[in-house]
Amino acid sequence: MAPFYQPSLLEDKVIITKVVNLYRKLVKPSDENEAPQATTPATISEASKVPDSPSNGSDDQQTAIEKSRQQCKDIPNAIARDHHNISRKKLSKNALKVLYRLQDEGYEAYLVGGCIRDILMGLTPKDFDVATNATPEQIKACFKNCRLIGRRFRLAHIVFGRELIEVATFRGHHQQTDNPATGGKKQLSAQSDEGQLLRDNVYGSIEEDAQRRDFTINALYYSVNGFYIRDFAGGIDAIKAKRIELIGDPQARYREDPVRMLRAIRFATKLNMTIEEKTEAPIYELGNLLSNIPPARLFEESMKLTLAGKALDNYMMMRKYDLFRHMFPVPYEVLDEDPDSKQEQLIRQVFINTDKRINANKGVTPAYIHAALLWYVVEKETQMQIETNGLSAYDASYVAMTEVLSRHCRAISLPKRFSTVSRDIWQLQHRLDRRMGKRAFKLMEHPKFRAGYDFLLLRGDIEGGKIAELAHWWTQFQDADDAGKQQMANDLNGSSNRGSSTGKYRNKNTTDDPNRNTSNNTNERRRGPRKNNRNRRKASNTATSNTTNSTATPPSESGQ
């Protein structure tokens, strides 16, 4: 006789899930004002989901506080609900869904890092990160909208429309090779000769994960189950003291990940904090380690440094700690110690203008910033091409732009969608001086005219002289009506032909000599384009010999 069929535990759970969901729909309708719940059935007790906001009633608030106090008695380094200002009303609904789903599946899950720090400081978090003891594969099994990324750090991205919740597994110490949480499988960790972590997929407990975090202010974990915060490294005290300090030995931690030096600067300017002395000291001598960071990651860090409303402060601190020359080696070539040099003034002014636009909620493109950083490098390279290779100004400029962008992208992987715009801005600096006839009207139809004009204004403020006069002319030209624009263009045509006996259509090659051989003159004019073509071919060959595939898309920009 065949044995009686016995359902597995998984099948039992699925059946219970369906029954509970049906019961909730029929008996307990959803309330829009209720705190966000998990989309899967709750296996955690209803007491753990008691609303923790005063707006839900004083009784519920008191219950949440009492529950938090009871749980904190048995948890080390825990701060109860009545000792912090974090409420679920301040958290992302999608982040709460992730926390509840992981807890429903039997895993630990905490909100961690910058989102907790920002709420404690009265700021609005830009994103929410989750830490859990579930492995990336287990996380993916819980969410259909999950994708796993990263090789150096294996992470799970859970996508809710335009919002992304990043979930990371608790990190462990590198000495570990086996872990019961991974089924006894060997975990991967690798370091370079300089101590940089090349791979860090070693999993551990929440206590080990806290020790692996970079700064004390980021080692804060919030539990939605008991509404408490776990502070393993004195992060609350560091926030009160407005102090940036690394966890562990600063030398070793910077060598593990040199980007932490840039993060220390960014946190100090963003949060108005000071860098602790022990954390600050190694930065001066370890800046060269930034050259080991992949260019694509450095570009992402440059975006955070320049597009957060603190670009000027970040630049000044990078110059102070001598990190700018390691992160931006190409722009650094034309900088010196003179704070009044035009190169230094241009960079500072573009960061001042960027901060103003960011703080006014106006758009800023990285292409404009990088065009300003590299402008004087392009000018220097152009002059060198003219003197060394005998190229025309146009051909030398083309070669210089290609050469400078190629070298810059090897340090910071500037995507092609930005490098192309930077090149347009540079080219417009030469074209804006050619305003006669219909050229001025056609230039205003250029897609990047406004960016090129703004950069011309910036140069005029710094350099003055003819550049300032040209920028002023373009300002008046844009403000004038159609008749005024036509008159300004006619005035340029008249001034260019003033003193000519034959008017504005006079051929510049004609003379008053009646014995001049016009046929030879025609041949000379015909040889002009051929000579230009030879120069362009020469420029192309020069660019190819000076750079590796300089006329093609740099390797770091491919696929963008």
The region that residue 230 occupies, defined by phi over 0 for left and psi between -120 and 50 for alpha, beta otherwise, is: beta
| Same domain, yes or no: 395 and 333 | no
Please give the biggest Cα pair distance in the chain.
124
In DSSP terms, which residues pair with 222 in a beta bridge? Answer: 111, 229
| Same domain, yes or no: 320 and 388 | no
Of all residues in the chain, the percent with pLDDT exceeding 70 is 71
Task: Point out the least confidently predicted range of 25-39, 135-149, 170-184, 409-423.
Answer: 25-39
Average pLDDT, the chain: 79
Which structure tokens are listed for 321? Answer: 């700690």
Phi, psi of 162 (to 5 degrees): -90, -5
CA 543: distance to chain centroid? Answer: 31
| Same domain, yes or no: 463 and 327 | no
| Same domain, yes or no: 149 and 267 | no
Task: Name the H helices within 213-310.
Answer: 235-241, 250-256, 259-270, 277-280, 283-286, 295-306
- Could you give the CA distance from residue 222 to residue 199 in angstroms, rounded to a whole number? 27
> Please, which pLDDT band fits residue 82 given cuts at 50, 70 and 90?
confident
Amino acid 518: pLDDT = 41
| Same domain, yes or no: 308 and 456 | no
- How many domains does one find in the chain? 3
Catalytic residue selected from 127, 322, 454, 461: 127
- Could you give the CA distance from residue 50 to residue 60 in angstroms, rounded to a whole number? 7
The answer to whether the CB of 329 falls within 8 A of the CB of 444 is: no
**pLDDT at residue 549 tops 80:** no
| Same domain, yes or no: 132 and 213 | yes
Is 408 among the domain residues? yes
| Same domain, yes or no: 230 and 336 | no
Is 483 among the domain residues? yes
129 an active-site residue? yes
Is 226 among the domain residues? yes
- What residues have CB less than 8 Å from 397, skipping those under 6 apart? 378, 382, 426, 427, 430
Q: Which of 541, 542, 543, 539 is nearest to 531 (CA)?
A: 539
- Could you give the CA distance from residue 283 to residue 289 in angstroms, rounded to a whole number? 10
**pLDDT at residue 408 tops 90:** yes
CATH number, residue 249: 1.10.3090.10
Amino acid 313: pLDDT = 97
- Could you give the CA distance from residue 356 to residue 541 in angstroms, rounded to a whole number? 43
What is the arithmetic mean of pLDDT over 44-63?
48
| Same domain, yes or no: 43 and 78 | yes
Element holding 165 (H helix, E strand)? strand 163-169
**pLDDT at residue 511 tops 50:** no
Which structure tokens are listed for 22? Answer: 């049906």
| Same domain, yes or no: 302 and 369 | no
Residue with tokens 């300090």: 245
Is 508 among the domain residues? no
What radius of gyration, in Å, describes the C-alpha atoms of the chain?
Answer: 32
Catalytic residue selected from 52, 104, 118, 214: 214
Is 469 among the domain residues? yes
pLDDT digits (tens, 9 = 90+) for 268-302: 999 999 999 999 999 999 999 999 999 999 999 99
In DSSP terms, which residues pair with 171 in a beta bridge? Answer: 203
Q: Is 456 helix (H, G, I), strand (E, B) or coil?
A: helix
Q: Which of 256, 263, 278 is nearest to 117 (CA)?
A: 263
| Same domain, yes or no: 136 and 66 | yes
Is 516 among the domain residues? no
Amino acid 19: pLDDT = 57
Phi, psi of 168 (to 5 degrees): -120, 145
| Same domain, yes or no: 485 and 454 | yes
Which structure tokens are listed for 528? Answer: 């002009």
What is the arithmetic mean of pLDDT over 164-193?
63
- Could you give the CA distance from residue 467 to residue 375 in angstroms, rounded to a whole number? 14
Phi, psi of 201 (to 5 degrees): -100, 55
Domain boundary among 225, 241, 257: 241
Is 405 among the domain residues? yes
Task: Point out the least confidently predicted range of 102-106, 202-206, 528-532.
Answer: 528-532
CATH number, residue 207: 3.30.460.10
| Same domain, yes or no: 464 and 543 | yes
**pLDDT at residue 209 tops 80:** yes
DSSP state letters, 173-197 = -TT----GGGTTPPPEEEE-TTS-E
Q: Is 447 helix (H, G, I), strand (E, B) or coil?
A: coil
What is the arithmetic mean of pLDDT over 133-144?
94
- Could you give the CA distance from residue 332 to residue 376 in angstroms, rounded to a whole number? 10
Domain boundary among 241, 275, 298: 241
- Could you give the CA distance from residue 556 to residue 406 in angstroms, rounded to a whole number? 9
Amino acid 507: pLDDT = 41
Is 530 among the domain residues? no
Which structure tokens are listed for 412? Answer: 């910071």
Print the domain residue range for 378: 365-496+536-560
Catalytic residue selected from 52, 104, 129, 209: 129
Model's pTM, two decimal places?
0.74
